Amino acid sequence: MRSICKIIVGLIAAVPLAAVTLPISARAEQLKKIAILPKTLVNDVFQIRIVQAAEREARKYGIATESFASRGHAAVEDQINIIETLIARGDFGALIIAAA
């Protein structure tokens, strides 16, 4: 049985400076889908590569990912709205956030 710690360590290694939020008691089997929230994907190769690395690591464990991005680096309100919407949806086991 894979532990959630191995998955989180792999994702954190793939996504430097990102915050990973998930329940402490989560197990790998419960982590079916992860939301990835970079600052922006508009003309930002670094953020695009962060998303690609997180997606690649998640695929290794059979975890689906979905990416959501704000309009720009300074679009804090966009990012807050996206996070609130994702929490309300409740269908993600974790959020990977590169906060603005």
Six token digits for residue 61: 């464990």
Closest by CA to 37, choosing from 5, 90, 75, 88, is: 75
Q: What is the mean pLDDT of residues 44-53?
A: 90
**Host domain of residue 34:** 4-97
Round to whole Å and give the CA distance between 26 and 64. Answer: 16
Q: What is the mean pLDDT of residues 48-58?
A: 91
pLDDT in the model for residue 9? 46
The model's confidence at residue 16, banded by pLDDT at 50, 70 and 90, is very low
CB 83 within 8 A of CB 90: no
What domain count does the chain have?
1
Helix (H/G/I), strand (E/B), else coil: 66: strand
Whether the pTM exceeds 0.85: the reply is no
